[in-house]
Structure 1
Amino acid sequence: MSAPERTAGAGGLLAALGLFSVLPVPQRARVPGPGVLRWLPVVGLVLGALACVPALVVWRGADEGSPLLAAALVVTALALLTRGLHLDATADLADGLGSGRPAEQALAIMRRPEVGAFAVAAIGCTLLVQVAALAAVLGDAGPVEGVLAVVLATVTGRTAVLHAAARPAAPGSSLGVLVAGSGSGLLRWSVTGVLLLAAVGVRLAVGGSAAQGLWSAAAVVVALVLAALLARHAARRLGGVNGDVFGALVEAATTATLVVLATGVSWT
């Protein structure tokens, strides 16, 4: 079976899970192929739901248990489920952009195994803000609403990658086989439209107010806009996008989604 055929159906989802998570899939499925990135939002949905399992042991909604500990467990679970892949990318991109060097030198810095001050700050701030924002959300939510908030953030983070896939690859990047077949404008905006409708519709379906539904949609919009700005800046500085940019976009958009949702808690 050819790579396009493998990534067109369920095989594409298995390939995406094998490449971007620690979930067990057949070894033959762990082969990147055209269109595999289109499955990232589904990967986000699966990982977001799984990451909530340990949190539900210590938190059963609102003040029943510890929202802070639950938030920390969710963020930890996401890091474990992805092998820290996106956090590592965030660190690399922070060091590369923070260096202020020309594109070639910045890319060389990003390929080094050493971790610089910008990387430490980026990872520390990302984890801190994610835990704090999610704790605020969980402190005012029931189990179902809490899980939905996490899933919304993880799916939005990966939808941001679909939009960035339309940009040229940075010199030396091996993204070609992954990006091929994933940068369709129809695909990107269809996924975004479905995500926005789900953000509002599902929130209303579980008993949320119209204001809460709008805050959910706003979280998606703000996160995708901020991710687009980051992708644009990175592409200008590096001459295109690469895997580190994609990983950093996942973390940035996930974080932004949680921050907006937490802001909505105080206003609704």
Structure 2
Amino acid sequence: MPIRTIFSLLSILPVRGLVALDRRTIGRAMAIAPLVGLTLGVITALTVTILRIFITQPGQPVETLLPAAVGIATLAGLTRGLHLDGLADVADGFGAGQDRALAAMRDSRLGAFGVLALVFAVLVQVGALSLTISEHRGTVSIVVAAMTGRLAATLACVHAPAAHPTGLGALVARTVAPWQAACSGAAVVAVAALAGRFDVDGGDAGGALRAVTAVAVGTVAGWLLRRFLVRYLGGITGDVLGALVEVTATVTLVFMTLNIPPA
């Protein structure tokens, strides 16, 4: 079943029954990857909200940094750090040079470029989420960023070839039909608009427009990164998908900090 397959691949959430890994099932599973993002985003948003309730002191400034750090840690934990690991491996591959990139990415050791990529990604994500929480749109920002990041993985599986004949990239490359990707993208836009309009922290039409625009900006960033990496590496790998998820989610989250349109 595609739902069991995609949750098994992209999260630690328990799934029952057999998980199929044939290309047909994988394609259908990757097409609904944003559903995993929605689920993880909601879980993370609830975690952040509950923490804020317990640490808020009457008459004191609202604490945002700790909830943001816990939120990003929750997202990483719910995915086994899979996407962050992919980002680090891609960064190490880039640091090794084009001729040795794939070999460096398969090396289990973490290099300097990988460490820098992880540090900067996490710092930016925590900082951006902290700012959105202070602007009373942290919940919708988490959900939209998590969905858009997984949408980038869905779109990467439409036309991009595999960079290596084995591994996850070879299994998922070109398995998602264009119409499936279009439906997935439309669903993400619709959910983002609803989340922005009916956000528990005070949704409105401007919030819906901001959320939809964030999806568009994040998706474009993911597309540009995918285009570069396919040219650089010759195709996609599992690490490339992880890097796309993280970078796209980060760009989306950063955009959600902006007051465009004015709040």
TM-score normalised to the size of structure 1?
Answer: 0.86
Are residues 20 and 181 of structure 1, via their aligned partners in 2, closer, same or farther at CA, if it must alter by over 3 Å? same
Is the contact made by 2:173 and 2:236 (CA closer than 8 Å) also made in structure 1? Answer: no
1:232 maps to which of 202, 213, 227 = 227
Moved over 6 A (4+): 61-64
Structure 2 portions without partners, runs of 5+: none
Bigger CA drift: 146-155 or 201-210?
201-210
User: Of the candidates 67, 72, 86, which is equivalent to residue 69 of structure 2?
Assistant: 72
How many angstroms apart in 2 are the aligned matches of 1:13 and 1:169?
23
Equivalent of residue 7 in structure 2, options 14, 17, 23 = 17
Aligned position for 2:162: 169
1:138-153 matches, cutoff 5 A? 138-141=133-136, 145-153=137-145
- Corresponding residue for 2:254? 259
**Corresponding residue of 1:202:** 195
Q: How far, CA to CA, are the matches of 1:155 and 1:47 in structure 2?
A: 9
* Superposition deviation, residue 201 in structure 1: 3.3
Specify the alignment match of 1:154 in structure 2: 146
In 2, distance between residues paired with 1:30 and 1:95? 31
1:95 to 80, 92, 97: 92
Report the counterpart of residue 19 of structure 2 in structure 1.
29
* Contact 1:34–1:180 (Cα < 8 Å) also in 2: no
SS in 1 for 2:129: helix
Q: CA–CA distance in 1 between the matches of 2:238 and 2:245?
A: 11
C-alpha deviation, 1:52, in angstroms = 2.5
User: Which sits farther off after the overlay, 109-118 or 202-211?
Assistant: 202-211
Query: Is the CA contact 2:128–2:257 (under 8 Å) kept in the aligned structure 1?
Result: yes
Match status 1:188 vs 2:181: yes
Deviation at 1:263, TM superposition (A): 1.5
Does the 8 A contact of 1:18 with 1:30 survive in 2? no
1:178 to 172, 179, 186: 172
TM-score by length of 2: 0.88
* Deviation of 1:27 (Å): 5.8
Distance 1:20 1:185 in 2: 21
Percent identical residues: 35
Once the two structures are TM-superposed, the CA of residue 64 in structure 1 deviates from its matched residue by 7.2
Distance in structure 2 (CA, Å) of the matches to 1:208 and 1:58: 21
How many equivalent pairs are there? 252
